[in-house]
């Protein structure tokens, strides 16, 4: 009797074990919650710093550079003398023009006196009207010649004034391109004398992607990140926004100005601009590794309240790297399978880990 009871117990336990082993097991999956982005979205763009004002200073007269008063790195004030050019040819031309002017003025004086006498004789009927008109016209021509000679003297005097090269505005000499004795010309091959940059305030241009064009406004604060100052973010602001997008890159050009009173930043430095934008409609985001990209479209494995998987076709928006924007297909708060396998099928029952556990 005892043997029969033990045999029946053993057979029952074996059957129960076999049934447990053959029962279907549910796949365990990690799930994340699809959520809308926060109030602010960060957009980081590469940029190159530029001086607020920069001028290449060339000569406006011909001659030889006799001396320069400033060199690279020197601060200058507007109107300060930068260099002096020796202009022997212009000096000779000016002297000749001055002599021509004196001659023309003397001729004009004589012609006017002659015309005056002939007009008096014409009033007395002593000479013909044609002769009076000829003398009057000659006086007018002499006066015009004197005016032309005076204009030439003024032009050469101005060229002589250009022998003193001055700074166009307050700034710093960033380069010098000529040495003493250099031949100075005014043609297309003329040498660069100086380059002046104004560094008290810098500017940078950035192209905002079309998707963010509604979020940028003038006076919006912008963080300027430079790797030489890893623990410090400089603050600038948007001062100008272009009224049209670039048709090639589909970006909106904005100008950001950055105070640089301490001179820590230099024109030409590479930097990054960090825009903190407040989107008008926060996007719905999911991790990039939760997406299924297939030949018939883009999908997300959504788990419903009965722990059943539904392969939901979705429309992607902007790609933020670790996250991707979902334009349509799932609601806010949906449970999405993270790292779904290709073996996952629609209608499959799974055992989802809680979103909190998936984050651990």
What's the pLDDT tens digit per position in 251-262? 999 999 999 988
pLDDT of residue 148: 94
Comparing 129-138, 142-151, 166-175, which segment has the lowest mean pLDDT? 129-138
pLDDT band at 51 (very low <50, low <70, confident <90, very high): very high
pLDDT of residue 9: 55
Q: Compute the C-alpha angle 136/141/144, nearest 5°.
A: 130
Percent helix, strand, coil in the chain (nearest 5)?
Answer: 30, 40, 30
pLDDT of residue 11: 52
Mean pLDDT of 73-94: 93
> Three-state DSSP class for 347?
coil
pLDDT of residue 13: 55
Question: Which domains are assigned to the chain?
Answer: 27-38+282-359 (2.40.420.20), 42-52+200-277 (2.40.30.170), 55-86+163-194 (2.40.50.100), 88-161 (1.10.287)
pLDDT band at 23 (very low <50, low <70, confident <90, very high): very low
pLDDT of residue 303: 87
pLDDT of residue 271: 92
CA atoms within 13 A on the CB side of 55: 15
In the chain, the percentage of residues whose pLDDT exceeds 90 is 41
Mean pLDDT of 99-127: 87
Comparing 44-58, 196-210, 342-356, which segment has the lowest mean pLDDT? 342-356
The pTM of the full predicted model, rounded to 2 decimals, is 0.60
Q: Which residues of 146-183 are buried (b: 16+ CB within 10 A; e: fewer)?
A: beebbebbeebeebbebbebbbeebbbbbebebeeebe
Whether 202 and 226 have beta carbons less than 8 Å apart is answered as no
Mean pLDDT of 278-288: 78
Q: What is the mean pLDDT of the chain?
A: 85
Comparing 101-110, 163-172, 195-204, 297-306, which segment has the lowest mean pLDDT? 297-306
pLDDT of residue 157: 93
pLDDT band at 337 (very low <50, low <70, confident <90, very high): confident
200: nearest Cα among 291, 124, 266: 266
> Alpha carbon of 31 to those of 15, 113, 145, 288, 345: distances in Å?
36, 108, 95, 13, 16
pLDDT of residue 103: 93
Mean pLDDT of 16-43: 67
pLDDT band at 99 (very low <50, low <70, confident <90, very high): very high
**Position 217 pLDDT exceeds 50:** yes
pLDDT of residue 14: 53
Cα separation, 104 vs 151, whole angstroms = 12
**Position 22 pLDDT exceeds 60:** no
């Amino acid at each position: 009797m005892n043997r029969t009871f033990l045999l029946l117990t053993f057979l029952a336990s074996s059957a129960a074990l076999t049934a447990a082993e053959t029962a279907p097991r549910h796949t365990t999956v990690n799930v994340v919650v699809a959520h809308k982005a926060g109030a602010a979205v960060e957009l980081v763009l590469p940029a190159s710093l530029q001086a607020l004002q920069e001028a290449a200073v060339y000569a406006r007269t011909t001659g030889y550079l006799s001396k320069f008063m400033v060199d690279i790195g020197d601060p200058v004030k507007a109107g300060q003398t930068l260099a002096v050019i020796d202009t022997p040819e212009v000096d000779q031309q000016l002297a000749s023009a001055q002599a021509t002017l004196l001659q023309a003025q003397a001729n004009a004086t004589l012609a006017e006196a002659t015309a005056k006498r002939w007009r008096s004789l014409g009033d007395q009927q002593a000479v013909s009207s044609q002769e009076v008109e000829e003398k009057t016209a000659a006086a007018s021509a002499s006066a015009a010649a004197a005016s032309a000679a005076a204009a030439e003297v003024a032009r050469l005097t101005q060229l002589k004034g250009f022998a003193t090269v001055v700074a166009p505005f307050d700034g710093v000499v960033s380069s010098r391109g000529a040495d003493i004795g250099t031949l100075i010309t005014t043609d297309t091959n003329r040498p660069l004398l100086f380059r002046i940059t104004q560094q008290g305030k810098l500017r940078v241009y950035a192209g905002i992607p079309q998707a963010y064009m509604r979020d940028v406004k003038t006076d919006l604060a912008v963080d300027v990140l430079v790797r030489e100052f890893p623990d410090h973010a400089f603050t600038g602001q948007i001062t100008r926004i272009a009224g049209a997008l670039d048709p090639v890159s589909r970006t909106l050009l904005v100008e950001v100005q950055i105070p640089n009173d301490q001179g820590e930043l230099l024109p030409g430095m590479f930097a990054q601009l960090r825009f903190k934008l407040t989107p008008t409609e926060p996007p719905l985001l999911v991790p990039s590794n939760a997406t299924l990209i297939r030949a018939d479209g883009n999908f997300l494995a959504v788990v419903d309240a009965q722990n059943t998987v539904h392969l939901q076709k979705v429309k992607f928006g902007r790609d933020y790297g670790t996250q991707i924007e979902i334009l349509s297909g799932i609601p806010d708060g949906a449970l999405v399978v993270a790292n779904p396998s290709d073996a996952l099928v629609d209608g499959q029952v799974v055992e989802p880990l809680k979103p909190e556990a998936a984050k651990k």
